[in-house]
């Protein structure tokens, strides 16, 4: 009888822990709804910088924070000084760009803005899934 009660107690506690983690946004299914980066429809696909929760990028993505030091509207790239060097951020047609909670366009990105970008990093170039302006000051 004690063994059955112990097993039942462990099962109930496990369910409560897993349920709490999911409700807190730290468990399976949290953050992006499984929609990012493939299509980027998830609009909150970069937790902590793209509208979701936490501070990690999904799908083994890379998150960078820094100040925009250059904007190239012809190639749709921004140069971001991360404090550890300059990263070129490539903005595609699928990239979600936000200022605060509102989506915006590439044309609203300016030198001096502090941004967080999430995406795929190769060498010193990040193909962005999400770019969020965190501070507009110059």
Q: What percent of the chain has pLDDT over 70?
A: 55
pLDDT of residue 135: 72
- Lowest-confidence segment of 9-23, 70-84, 85-99, 117-131 by average pLDDT: 9-23
- The fold for domain 33-138 equals OB fold (Dihydrolipoamide Acetyltransferase, E2P) (2.40.50)
| C-alpha atoms less than 13 angstroms from C-alpha of 16 in its C-beta half-sphere | 6
Asked whether 78 and 115 are in contact (CB, 8 A), the reply is yes
The 10s digit of each residue's pLDDT in 27-63 is 333 343 333 444 444 444 544 444 444 455 666 689 9
């Amino acid at each position: 009888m004690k063994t059955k009660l112990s097993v039942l107690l462990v099962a109930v506690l496990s369910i409560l822990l897993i349920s709490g983690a999911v409700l807190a946004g730290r468990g399976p299914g949290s953050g992006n709804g499984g929609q990012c980066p493939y299509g980027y429809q998830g609009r909150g696909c970069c937790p902590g910088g793209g509208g979701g929760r936490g501070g990690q990028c999904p799908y083994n993505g890379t998150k960078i924070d820094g100040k925009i030091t250059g904007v190239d509207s012809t190639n749709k790239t921004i140069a971001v000084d991360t404090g550890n060097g300059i990263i070129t951020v490539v903005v595609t047609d699928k990239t979600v760009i936000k200022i605060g909670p509102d989506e915006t366009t590439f044309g609203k990105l300016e030198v001096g803005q502090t941004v967080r970008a999430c995406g795929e990093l190769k060498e010193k170039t990040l193909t962005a899934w999400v770019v969020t302006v965190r501070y507009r000051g110059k």
